[in-house]
Every structure is written in structure tokens, then in C-alpha cells.
Amino acid sequence: MRSVTNIFHAFGVQSFADELAHAAKKDPVQYQLALIGPDRKIDFTGTKYQNYGASLDQFPYDTARLKHVIEIAAEKSGWGKRSTALGKGRGLGIAAHRSFLTYVATVVEVEVDSRGQVHIPNVWTAVDAGTVVSPDNVRYQIEGAAVFGASLALFGEITATNGAINQSNFNNYQIARMNRAPRHVEVHIVESEAPPAGVGEPGVPPFAPALCNAVFAATGKRVRELPLSKTKLV
């Protein structure tokens, strides 16, 4: 499972943060930034935080970097102006997460059609992976993460009958094909002198919560169970 436990951790935390923002009648971006709080390096003294096996001195959990990718993703998506201009059945959602020592924020735009199918016209992702040697490879990984994240959120499900897994291959485990995959993905790489970190998996965790937060913005319906095929949107 690409990005492992980060998927459901990010989905739970970032979905709930969006719910809190709307309950407080606050803009989700500003609410996220307020939740993160002041710029600081989090002190994990007395905890068993593993930090992906890396030194916290070299790779601290830096809230300023997390906030920065949120601000970039919001800016590049036109958050605020775009969200108010979208018509009925369309919406924007945002989510952010640190995994594999990399900070990623994603804004997803959705369109929910008359049959309740979710389409993804646009995705904007900001990624701070420290020093980047090959920016094209970073973009490819994040673009692929958008398709992978869409597949998981829209369709991803493993079921069993009498102790045997029902799905065997892509003929009965659906993925996001061309008509359901994100149509346009923009990747914005933060210039950094920090040590290089991971890019193979960090693009996935923010995607599903950003998508489902966008579904709420478009329909007023909260998604608390995945895949999205379990939720009737119309």
C-alpha cells in the first residue's frame, strides 16, 4: 500500500480538520494554518517517534515547512477566488501531511455530475522534499500519486468471501482510468537547502482527504468511509 499507514492517518486528521473549519465557519486554509500554530520544530523528547529512521537533528518536524506548502498549494489553486466562482456541484478541498520526511499539500477540484459520479478537473500539489536533484522525477512521482490517490479514494477496496480474497487483478480491482483520473495536475516544488527526503510515497496521503473535502464543498455531504463508491452523492 503506497505510503502505508499515512493514508488513513492523513484521511482521518485532515477530514476532521475540514469539518472543524466548517463548524467554526472559518476558511479551511486559514483554519489549517491556525491549527498548526507558530513556526517551530516539534520537540519529541520523551516519545518514541521514529522519524523514518532519520535523525531529528537533521530532519526535524518543521511546522513552518508544512504551513508553507499549504500556502503555496492554496495560492496556485486560486483558493478563495476559484472556490467562490465554482458553480453548483463543484468544489475545492485541501489537505496536507508530512511523511517520509517530506511536506506535501494538495488542493483538489471536483465536479459531481447528475449521476453522483465524481470527476477531477484539477489538482494542485506543493511539495517540499528538501534538496531536489531531479525535479522532473519529483513531478512524475507526484503526478502518479494523484492517479494512485484517486484510484484508492474512488474505488479501492479489498473484500473476502469464506476467507479468500475476491479481487485477483485489475479486471476486478478497479483503478482510475482516463475518464476518471485527474485531468490536470500541477506540481510546485519548494526550493530548499534542507537534506533530500522521500518523494515516492508522500504525494498520496493528502489526496483522499483533499478530494473528500472538495466533495463536501460541492455537495454538502461528508465522506467518512472509503471508497467513495459507498457514499450516495445524489
Average pLDDT, the chain: 96
Element containing residue 110 per DSSP (H, E):
strand 102-112
pLDDT in tens, 115-150: 999 999 999 999 999 999 999 999 999 999 999 999
Instruction: Please spell the DSSP secondary structure of 145-199, one letter per residue.
Output: HHHHHHHHHHT----EETTEES--STTTS----TTTS-SEEEEEEPP--SPP---
Instruction: Tell me what pLDDT residue 1 has.
Output: 78
- Per-residue confidence band for 81, with pLDDT thresholds at 50, 70 and 90: confident
Which residues span the domain enclosing 78?
6-230
Q: Is residue 222 part of a domain?
A: yes
Note whether residue 175 is domain-resident. yes
108-118, pLDDT tens digit by residue? 999 999 999 99
pLDDT single digits (tens) 18-68: 999 999 999 999 999 999 999 999 999 999 999 999 999 999 999 999 999
Per the structure, the count of domains in the chain is 1
Q: Is the pLDDT of residue 100 over 80?
A: yes
Cell of 169: 487483478
**Does the pLDDT of residue 156 top 80, yes or no?**
yes
Q: Residue 218 is part of a domain; what is its CATH number?
A: 3.30.365.10
User: Per-residue pLDDT for 83 more than 80?
Assistant: no
Give the predicted TM-score (pTM) of the model.
Answer: 0.96
CA gap 126, 62 in Å, rounded: 16
Does the pLDDT of residue 2 top 90, yes or no? no
**What angle is formed at CA 84 by the lines to CA 91 and CA 187, rounded to 5 degrees?**
60
- The per-residue pLDDT for 58 is 97
1 within domain boundaries:
no
The percent of residues above 90 in pLDDT, for the chain, comes to 92
